[in-house]
Amino acid sequence: MQLIRRTRSVLSAVLAAIATPVSSAAAQQLTSEMVVDLKQVTSVAMQPQGEYVAYTLRVPRGADEDPGGTYSEIWVVSTRGGAPKQFTSKPVSAFAPAWLPDGSMITFLSRRRDRDANTQVYGIPLDGGEARQLSHAPRGVSSYAVSPDGSVLAYTMGDEVPAEVRKARQAGFDQRVEGTWTTITRLYVENLTTGESHQVTQDDVHVRDFSWSPDGTRLLYRASDRPFTDDGYMFTDNYSVAVTGGSGELVHDTEGKLTAGRYSPDGEYIAWLGGVSLNDPTNGSLFLMPATGGQPTNLTVDFPGTAAAYTWKDDGTILLTTIEKTRTFLYEVSVPEGRMKKLRGDSDPIFRGVSISRDGRRYATIASTPTHPNEVFVGSSNGRSLDRLTQSNPGLASMSFGEQETISWIGPDDWEISGVLIKPVGYQEGVRYPLQLQVHGGPESAYLDGWNTSYSTLAQMLAQRGVMVLMPNYRGSTGRGVAFAKGDHNDPMGKQFEDMLAGVDYLIDLGYVDPDRVAVGGGSYGGYTSAWAATKHSERFAAAVVFAGIANQVSKIGMTDTPAENALVHWNLWHWDDLELVWDRSPIKHIQNARTPTLIGHGERDLRVPTGQAFELYRGLKHMKVPTELVIYPREPHGLRERAHQIDFNRRALEWYLRYLGTKATY
C-alpha cells in the first residue's frame, strides 16, 4: 500500500543521558511500578496578571499506604521559570485550582481531614500561609467559580436526602427503583464578605457545570432533566439565570453532546462546543450566538478536525484548541465572522486547552511529548513561544525510548487512516518485529503523538522490549471532522476494523512486522475491538488483551449506564430495531473461530461495560479450550483507580504479550 505521510516526531530513538549513567539495560526500562508511579500535571490555571501558574500534580500512593488511587496536590510556578512551590500535600487531595481576580489567592476544592467531612472551597494566599475555608456549604461542593469582581462564590451542591428516605434506609429499605431519584445538584452562591448564601436555580434540573456573566449578574449553566450519566452525555441544555435566583432561561434548544456556554468579555455573545446533530459522536464544533438570543452559528462547519477546548481571548477573539489526526493545534477565531488563524501545532508538544491571562498575552497549558507525560508549559498568544516550566519525572531523561512517528495508510473506500507508530528501541532496517495493535476506546477518541504509556496502554514498555506498536485512529475517531467521526455508524467492526487490519498489512508490506507475531489490546471500545479480533479474526492474532471490553452487544445494551449514547452516537440505531446486526457484531457470536490466547481484565463495579461481559467471553473461550485468564478487580469501576490493581494488570498484560509474541525480555 502507498504511504501517504510519515512525520517524524522524535529525531533520535535514544535520548542523551543527563543523569548518572545506568549500569544495566534493564534499569533503563520502564517497569510496572514506574509507569503507575509517574507524576503528571492534570490541570493549570494562569494567574490573571500572568505572573504565575497554579497547577494540580497527580502523585502516587505509597506502596506502604492503604489501597486506593492517586493524590492531587496544588503547586505554583512562576511564568519566568524557576523551582515550583508546593501549596498542598498528600494525603489530603486538592483539585480545581483557580485564582481570585486580583491574583492574591489560589482557590481550590478539598476535603480537609482536620475539619469537616464535606468538600469545600479553600484559598491560600500567593505568599503562603494556612488554607482558609471560603465556602460553608452544608454538603459537599462539586464545582465552583468566583465572580468577576471577587466578591461572590458560586458553587454546585447536591440536595439533602429527604428525612423519610434516610429513615427508610436505616431500617434496611435501601432498594433502588430504576429510573427514579431522590436528589439532584443545584447552583448556589455565597457572599465572601458576609457569608450569606442562597440557592440560585429554582427549577428541578440537574446542574452539570456553569460560568459567570462578565458583569456578575447572571450565571450560565448546563443542566439535564435527570441526574443520570447517560443524560449528562446526551440530553443537556444551556440556561441563564439571575444570580439572585429564579427559573432558568433556555439559551437555545440544542440536540446532542454539549459543553457549558461562556459569555464573551463584553457580554455580547455566548459560545459553546456541541454536536451538529443528536447522533454526532462529539461536542466537537464551535458555536456562537448573540447573548440577546437568535440562531447559533457553527463557526467550524466542514472543519477537518475536532474542536477540543476554547477560551475567550478578548471581545472579538476565541482561542480554540483542536485535534487534527495525531496533533493538537491552537487557533484564533474571530467573532462573529469565524475566521481562523493558526497559532500553534505541527511539531509542538501535545497540549490540552489553554488558561489565559487577563490581558490575553500569555497562556498556560498542560502538554506532553513522546518522552514525558503532561507538564506545565507557558506560551504567548501570538504563537511565538511555548516553554516548559516543570520537570516532574527527571528520571525519564536517562531512558531510551522507541522512535515515535505519525503514519498514514489507505483503508476501505480509499479513506486515509492515520495513527501513531512506535518502533522498538534499537530498531534495525530489514528486521521483522512482533507488533502490538493498541486500540483506543470511545470510539470518539484519538491517539496523539505525545506520551502514550499508562497502566493499560503499554506503548513504550513494549518498544523497550523489542515490540513495535501501532496505535490507529480508525473511522469513528476524533480529529478528522464530523463525517469521519460518524464513519462507523450502522457498521461497527465492519470497515472500522478493516481500517486497522489495513494498517497492520501496511506495516507487513513495508517489511517491518512478522505477520505471525501480531497481538491486539485495548480498553472499553478498544477492549471490544480486541475481543472481536480474538474471535472473528482470530487467525490474524497471536495474543489479545481485553480490558473492560464488550463480548455481547445484545446483553450489554440492557445493562450499561449509557444506553442512549451507545445507541445514538456509536451505532446510530437502537439495538432492538436490528438485533440481527447487533448480534452479528458481537464477539461471542464468533466464538467458534477463537484460537487467540486472551487475557481479560475487568472492574467489579463497572457500570459502563458490566462485568458480565468479561464472564461471557471467558466462558466461551474456556469452552473452545483457548488459553485465557480472567482477572476481576474488586471495587473498581470502568477503569482501574487503585495503585496495586494498576500494577497487577500492567504486569499481567506485559507478560501475556511477551509470552505469546515469543519475545524474551524482562518484565
Q: Which residues, other chains included, contact 498 with Cβ-Cβ below 8 Å and sequence gap of 6+? A: 411, 412
CATH code where residue 523 lies: 3.40.50.1820
Q: Above 50 in pLDDT, residue 11? A: no
Q: Is residue 324 part of a domain?
A: no
Q: Outline where DSSP puts E strands in 467-512.
A: 468-473
User: Is 341 a member of any domain?
Assistant: no
Query: Which stretch of DSSP H or E encloses residue 21?
Result: none
Element counts in the chain: helices (H) and strands (E): 12, 38
Residue 212 lies in a domain: no
pLDDT confidence bin for 10, thresholds 50/70/90: very low
pLDDT of residue 605: 98
262-263 and 52-59 beta bridge pairing:
unpaired
Q: What is the mean pLDDT of residues 206-234?
A: 98
Average of pLDDT values for 223-238? Answer: 97
Q: Are 474 and 468 in contact (CB under 8 A)?
A: no
Checking if the pLDDT of 667 tops 50, the result is no
- pLDDT tens, position by position, 253-295: 999 999 999 999 999 999 999 999 999 999 999 999 999 999 9
For 167-192, what is each residue's pLDDT tens digit?
A: 999 999 999 999 999 999 999 999 99
Biggest alpha carbon distance in the chain?
74
- Looking at the DSSP assignment, which residues form a beta bridge with residue 662? none
**Using CA atoms, how far apart are residues 77 and 391, in angstroms rounded to an integer?**
11
* Percent helix, strand and coil across the chain, each to the nearest 5: 20, 35, 45
Which residue's entry shows cell 505477520? 515
DSSP string, 173-194: -----TT--S--EEEEEEETTT
38 touches 58 (CB < 8 A): no
Cα torsion angle, 300, 304, 309, 314, sign = negative
Cell of 328: 493538537
Domain of 457 in residue numbering reads as: 396-660
Residue 231: helix, strand or coil by DSSP?
Answer: helix
Checking 147-152 for CB contacts under 8 A at 24+ apart, the result is: 147/212, 147/216, 147/243, 148/101, 148/212, 148/214, 148/215, 148/216, 149/101, 149/216, 150/100, 150/101, 150/102, 150/192, 151/191, 151/192, 151/193, 151/216, 152/189, 152/190, 152/191, 152/192, 152/216, 152/243
* Strand order, beta sheet including 132-133: 94-99, 105-110, 120-125, 132-133
Mean pLDDT of 451-469: 98
In a domain, 645, yes or no: yes
Q: Which grid coordinates belong to 156? A: 454546585
Backbone angles phi, psi at 574, to 5 degrees: -80, 130
- CA 645 – CA 32 distance, rounded (Å): 11
Q: How many domains does the chain have?
A: 1
Does residue 510 have a pLDDT over 70?
yes
Structural domain contains residue 40 = no
The string of pLDDT tens digits covering residues 378-436 is 999 887 789 999 999 999 999 999 999 999 999 999 999 999 999 999 999 999 999 99
Average pLDDT over residues 56-60: 97
| Beta-strand runs (E) in 509-597 | 513-523, 543-547
- Rounded percentage of the chain residues whose pLDDT exceeds 90: 92
Polymer length in residues for the chain: 667
Average pLDDT of the segment spanning 155-162: 97
Please state, in angstroms and rounded to a whole number, the distance separating the CA atoms of residues 522 and 536. Answer: 16
Q: CB 8: neighbour CB atoms within 10 A? A: 12
DSSP 114: T
Strand (E) or helix (H) holding 499: helix 495-509
Q: What is the pTM of this model?
A: 0.93
The pLDDT of residue 7: 43
Confidence (pLDDT) at 1: 37
Taking 80 as the threshold, does the pLDDT of residue 2 lie above it?
no
pLDDT at 27: 46
| The pLDDT of residue 8 is above 50 | no
